[in-house]
């Protein structure tokens, strides 16, 4: 009987791990650029709105951006 390594059993390869890290990094950059665009487009400061003014609506928008980018990354990695 052949010895099966953990890598072969789980299907995790160096290429898959590298791709996952790359897409995660790209996702974080896209999220950051989205927040910057939100600041410029609507003329508000997200940090001030979230912390000082405790604006829940801005928090929900940021959460929605995060979730949507996470879904895109997950779909890309899964394909």
Confidence band for 70, pLDDT divided at 50, 70 and 90: confident
Least confident of 3-12, 44-53, 56-65: 3-12
- Residue 35 lies in domain: 16-78
Give domain status of residue 30, yes or no.
yes
Distance between CA atoms of 24 and 77, rounded to whole angstroms?
10
Give domain status of residue 2, yes or no.
no
Give domain status of residue 47, yes or no.
yes
Give domain status of residue 9, yes or no.
no
Give domain status of residue 7, yes or no.
no
Residue 42 has which token pair?
A: 């609507």
Give domain status of residue 26, yes or no.
yes
Name the residue among 75, 31, 38 with its Cα closest to residue 58.
38
Mean pLDDT of the chain: 79
pTM over 0.85: no
Give domain status of residue 61, yes or no.
yes
Distance between CA atoms of 36 and 23, rounded to whole angstroms?
20
Give domain status of residue 1, yes or no.
no
Taking the mean position of all CA atoms in its chain, how far away is CA 48? 22
The total number of structural domains in the chain stands at 1
């Amino acid at each position: 009987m052949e010895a099966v390594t953990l890598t072969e059993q789980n299907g995790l390869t160096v290429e898959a791990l590298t791709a996952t890290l790359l897409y995660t990094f790209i996702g974080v950059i896209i999220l950051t650029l989205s927040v910057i665009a939100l600041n410029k487009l609507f003329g508000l400061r997200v940090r001030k709105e979230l912390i000082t003014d405790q604006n829940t609506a801005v928090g929900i928008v940021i959460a929605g951006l995060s979730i949507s980018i996470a879904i895109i990354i997950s779909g890309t990695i899964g394909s």
